[in-house]
A and B are shown apart, each in its own frame.
Chain A
Amino acid sequence: MNNKEYPLLQVRDLEVAFGERRRRFYAVRGVSFDIYKGETFGLVGESGSGKTSIGRAIIRIYPTTNGEIIYKGQRISGKIDKKLDCRVTREIQMIFQDPMASLNERAKVGYIVAEGLYATEKGLSREERERRVHEALLDVGLLDEFASRFPHEFSGGQRQRIGIARALVMQPEFIIADEPISALDVSIRAQVLNLLSKLQKERGLTYLFISHDLSVMRFICDRIAVINKGVLVELAHTEALFQCPLHPYTRLLLSAVPMPNPVYERNKKVLTYDESIHDYSVDKPVWTEISEGHFVLGNQKELAEYKERIGSVCPLPEDSFGVNVLPQTKAQEK
């Protein structure tokens, strides 16, 4: 994948809050990350951690209360002009979790897929619109005659494909996939994952992949950010994160992933994470790049520990940039 150096989307100090004054609840606080063109960026956390809120803030369903979101160098959070709004609506698309709930039961598949075109490309002739709907359906491995049927006639996997076709018909550049396979059977999961990676290869799509399941993320994501209670705690290349998880919360998530090996599972200990182990009363935590592309949240004392661990325990991850920086020498330099 080229164009790695060009951030398609930049999130800066994002805050999403709900409610007023005393009852104000901060779903996301101070989150910053870049997503590069052509990559799959994973966002992992438990339910209630704010991962979906971030996705929704990017696609402008939720208002951002602070910070900004920059898409292709232009701010898209807050008030933006109509032309940009229309462009963003077209270029950023979303795939939803539950294929049973996210399709309009009373509309035919053809209309469901075409709905975005009605809104953003008003001048389109009927033939042209139908052609694009059929193309999108074929691209996701469905038949074009399905356009005249209703969603209830399809299985879960086929419905999720319709959801993907609905995103594709807009010819997007950036797709937010919010738990796209959690509601699917294992055998269908593989089909949908393969379809997503195939589309990425063919069209150079960029994905924000939101999930709670790290085993799926390892397979599909280039980089992964871990979020807990609205705050990012660690961000790294997939291999680096799996070989050398630093933050205790990341380690907890990794230990919870079920593996298909009875011998390993019987001896496995699921770690627990208690926030009180962090003493942030004096020494405030900071978001630091601890080694090439590996960010972690911690105070000075913790960061020193993490640095030691990254130097001693972890072998050098073969990261996808191909930049060979020995973490050990890097740690010594500092």
Chain B
Amino acid sequence: MSEVILRTEDLNVKFSLRGRVLHAIRGVSLEVYKGESLAIVGESGSGKSVLTKTFMGLLDQNGWVDSGSIWFEGNDLAQYKTEKEWLTIRGKKIAMVLQDPMTSLNPLKTIGKQIGEALELHQGLKGDDANKRIQEILLDVGIKEPARRMKQYPHQFSGGMRQRVVIAIAVACQPDILICDEPTTALDVTIQAQILGLIRDLIRKYNLTCIYITHDLGVVANVADRIAVMYAGDIVEIGTSEEIFFSPKHPYTWALLSSLPQLGVKGEELFSIRGTPPNLFNEIKGDAFAPRNPKALNIDFKERPPYFDISDTHKVRCWLQDPRAPKVEPPQVLERISTEGGNLYEQ
């Protein structure tokens, strides 16, 4: 677990939109360890997708890495400019599974061909060798009768099965890092549970490192070893799953957890975060969450908090950890995570 496979240092990403500059990632330093599964959690617009897209050179035309570096296998990915450079990484070393399986597959090609494309491009496999490998992969992702299924088109698959195909394409070339960008948001709860199980199995089998992106903290307890909470283009808290769920420190993490309907009590109001995320076109002063935090301190509006270490694995960017800050208790409802959270019904 200790070997770092990917590291970003003070990464800043900006977009130019209608003549204005949007600061999407504001100085993210992150270490991803080999073999772990790291979840990145945040609201829409928090920059979680943008962050991972920079790892694969998939930023839109109007976006660029402004400063900072992304270290992977001794190279700084932030310096990569040409498609040729990126093709040595993209799909081969780092692969991605996107949210909507309905749109990420080509409807005009059989799924065998689509997996084959990746194999031919990155591993030079063709003909029978490729076919054999395609069938192995399909079995690995839980698609039965691979010989028949590989000749079918995406419309002959259900939503859950299509997502399995997308995952098959992603793992076909045995990448080092698999990025899953909200892979289950478009799926039913039952299918979601199956896909999460599949991802966990594949991590073990292919020895993958997984970066899992979601807006729903309720989902990540299943897949994540570590969780990074993102807000307004910055990681505000990072720690192991246990640390984030059982002893969260940042008011934003508190708010995200409290708003989970799983923890709600019927007849009572569910906690909801007031206001909207900050506009990243503007310079953000202090703690970005302060305007929405009812218990914000004065300093939150003036100066950006540094990271405070809670433990070796747990860091939080919040002034509450400063020795001079008043003691603020996390909301009561979070106690229900340990009592209620594991006790939906007796199996």
Residues of A within 8 A of B (CB): 46-47, 155-156, 185-191, 193-194, 197, 212-216, 218-220, 238, 242-243, 245, 251-266, 268-271, 313
**In contact, B245 and A261 (Cβ under 8 angstroms):** yes
**In contact, B188 and A212 (Cβ under 8 angstroms):** yes
Which of A185, A194, A213, A264 is within 8 Å of B342, CB to CB?
A264
4 further interface pairs, Cβ-Cβ under 8 Å (given A186-B215, A215-B261): A187-B43, A194-B270, A256-B192, A259-B221
* A190-B194 contact, Cβ under 8 Å, with A220-B266, A257-B344: no
Chain A residues with CB below 8 A from B255, complex form: 187
* A262-B256 contact, Cβ under 8 Å, with A190-B271, A215-B262, A216-B261: no
Q: Could you name 25 residue pairs across A and B whose Cβ atoms are closer than 8 Å?
A: A186-B260, A187-B255, A187-B256, A193-B270, A215-B261, A218-B262, A218-B266, A219-B265, A220-B266, A243-B345, A245-B345, A255-B193, A255-B347, A256-B190, A257-B262, A258-B193, A258-B216, A259-B218, A259-B341, A264-B342, A268-B222, A268-B347, A270-B194, A270-B197, A271-B347
Chain A residues with CB below 8 A from B257, complex form: 260
Instruction: Tell me the bound Cα distance from A212 to B190 in angstroms.
Output: 9
- SS class, residues of chain A in contact with chain B: helix
Please give the distance in Å from A70's CB to the nearest CB on chain B: 28
Chain A residues with CB below 8 A from B216, complex form: 186, 258
Which of A213, A238, A265, A313 is within 8 Å of B222, CB to CB?
A265
- For A218, give the chain B residue with the smallest CB separation: B266
Please give the distance in Å from B34's CB to the nearest CB on chain A: 20
Please give the distance in Å from A306's CB to the nearest CB on chain B: 15
**In contact, B217 and A186 (Cβ under 8 angstroms):** yes
Chain A residues with CB below 8 A from B272, complex form: 187-188, 190-191, 194
| B interface bracket (residues with beta carbon within 8 Å of A) | 35 or more
Chain B 332-347, CB-CB to A under 8 Å as 1, else 0, gives 0000011001111111
**In contact, A185 and B43 (Cβ under 8 angstroms):** yes
Chain B residues with CB below 8 A from A266, complex form: 222
* A253-B189 contact, Cβ under 8 Å, with A216-B261, A220-B266, A261-B341: yes
Chain B residues with CB below 8 A from A270, complex form: 190, 193-194, 197
* A194-B269 contact, Cβ under 8 Å, with A252-B190, A260-B262: yes
* A257-B189 contact, Cβ under 8 Å, with A186-B216, A186-B256: yes
Instruction: Tell me the bound Cα distance from A288 to B190 in angstroms.
Output: 26
Please give the distance in Å from B17's CB to the nearest CB on chain A: 15
Chain B 258-302, CB-CB to A under 8 Å as 1, else 0, gives 011111111001111100100000000000000000000000000
Closest 6 CB pairs of A and B: A264-B342, A261-B341, A190-B272, A262-B241, A256-B193, A190-B259
In the assembled complex, B219 has its CB within 8 A of some CB on chain A = yes
Instruction: Tell me the bound Cα distance from A156 to B276 in angstroms.
Output: 12
**In contact, B337 and A213 (Cβ under 8 angstroms):** no
Chain B residues with CB below 8 A from A255, complex form: 193, 347
Chain B residues with CB below 8 A from A261, complex form: 221, 245, 337-338, 341-342
Please give the distance in Å from B222's CB to the nearest CB on chain A: 4
- For A213, give the chain B residue with the smallest CB separation: B189
Instruction: Tell me the bound Cα distance from A252 to B341 in angstroms.
Output: 18
Chain B residues with CB below 8 A from A185, complex form: 43-44, 215
Which of B222, B261, B338 is within 8 Å of A190, CB to CB?
B261
Chain B residues with CB below 8 A from A313, complex form: 346
Within 200-222 of B, Cβ neighbours of A (below 8 Å) are at: 215-219, 221-222
Please give the distance in Å from A39's CB to the nearest CB on chain B: 12
**In contact, B219 and A219 (Cβ under 8 angstroms):** no
- For A198, give the chain B residue with the smallest CB separation: B269
Please give the distance in Å from A211's CB to the nearest CB on chain B: 9
Please give the distance in Å from A223's CB to the nearest CB on chain B: 12
Please give the distance in Å from B293's CB to the nearest CB on chain A: 13
Which of B221, B264, B276 is within 8 Å of A265, CB to CB?
B221
**In contact, A260 and B338 (Cβ under 8 angstroms):** no
Instruction: Tell me the bound Cα distance from A204 to B306 in angstroms.
Output: 50
**In contact, A46 and B219 (Cβ under 8 angstroms):** no
- For A49, give the chain B residue with the smallest CB separation: B188
Chain A residues with CB below 8 A from B215, complex form: 185-186
Chain A residues with CB below 8 A from B191, complex form: 46
Chain B residues with CB below 8 A from A238, complex form: 266
In the assembled complex, B224 has its CB within 8 A of some CB on chain A = yes
Please give the distance in Å from B277's CB to the nearest CB on chain A: 9
- For B292, give the chain A residue with the smallest CB separation: A187
**In contact, B345 and A254 (Cβ under 8 angstroms):** yes
Instruction: Tell me the bound Cα distance from A265 to B220 in angstroms.
Output: 9
Which of A155, A212, A258 is within 8 Å of B221, CB to CB?
A258
Chain B residues with CB below 8 A from A269, complex form: 347
Instruction: Tell me the bound Cα distance from A291 to B260 in angstroms.
Output: 31
- For B243, give the chain A residue with the smallest CB separation: A262
- For A241, give the chain B residue with the smallest CB separation: B345
Chain B residues with CB below 8 A from A188, complex form: 272
Instruction: Tell me the bound Cα distance from A271 to B197 in angstroms.
Output: 12
Instruction: Tell me the bound Cα distance from A215 to B345 in angstroms.
Output: 11
- For B241, give the chain A residue with the smallest CB separation: A262
- For B270, give the chain A residue with the smallest CB separation: A190
Chain A residues with CB below 8 A from B260, complex form: 186, 215, 260
Within 221-264 of B, Cβ neighbours of A (below 8 Å) are at: 221-222, 224, 241-242, 245, 255-257, 259-264
Instruction: Tell me the bound Cα distance from A322 to B188 in angstroms.
Output: 34
Instruction: Tell me the bound Cα distance from A215 to B262 in angstroms.
Output: 5
Please give the distance in Å from B275's CB to the nearest CB on chain A: 10
Please give the distance in Å from B160's CB to the nearest CB on chain A: 9
Which of B190, B218, B222 is within 8 Å of A215, CB to CB?
B218
Please give the distance in Å from A185's CB to the nearest CB on chain B: 5
Chain B residues with CB below 8 A from A271, complex form: 347
